[in-house]
Amino acid sequence: MGKKNGKPGAKADGKPNGRLGKSEYYEQLAALELELNDLSRWLQHTGQRLVVLFEGRDTAGKGGSINAILATLNPRQCRTVALPKPTERESTQWYFQRYVPHLPAAGEMVLFDRSWYNRAGVERVMGYCTEHEVALFLKQAPVFERMLVDEGILFFKYWLTVDQAEQEQRFAERLEDPLKRWKLSPIDMQARAKYADYGRARDEMLAATHTRHAPWTLVDFNDQRRGRLTLIRHLLAHIPDRKVPDIPIDFPPLGHKPLTEKFAGPLKPI
| Domain boundaries defined on the chain | 22-88+101-237
Report the predicted TM-score, pTM, of the whole model to 2 decimal places.
Answer: 0.89
CA atoms within 13 A on the CB side of 62: 21
Residues of the chain with pLDDT under 50: 1-6, 13-16
**Do the beta carbons of residue 6 and residue 210 sit within 8 Å?**
no
**Do the beta carbons of residue 82 and residue 113 sit within 8 Å?**
yes
HEC states along the chain? CCCCCCCCCCECCCCCCCCCCHHHHHHHHHHHHHHHHHHHHHHHHHCCCEEEEEEECCCCCHHHHHHHHHCCCCCCCEEEECCCCCCCCHHHCCCCHHHHHHCCCCCCEEEEECCHHHCCCHHHHCCCCCHHHHHHHHHHHHHHHHHHHHCCCEEEEEEEECCHHHHHHHHHHHHHCCCCHHHCCHHHHHHHHHHHHHHHHHHHHHHHHCCCCCCEEEEECCCHHHHHHHHHHHHHHCCCCCCCCCCCCCCCCCCCCCCCCCCCCCCCCC
Report pLDDT for 12: 55
CA atoms within 13 A on the CB side of 19: 7
Taking phi over 0 as left and psi of -120 to 50 as alpha, with beta for the rest, 152 belongs to left
User: What is the rounded distance in angstroms from the CA atom of residue 202 to the CA atom of residue 218?
Assistant: 12
User: What is the rounded distance in angstroms from the CA atom of residue 38 to the CA atom of residue 76?
Assistant: 16
Architecture category of domain 22-88+101-237 in CATH: 3-Layer(aba) Sandwich (3.40)
Of 213, 215, 231, 188, nearest to 64 by C-alpha is 231
Report pLDDT for 233: 98
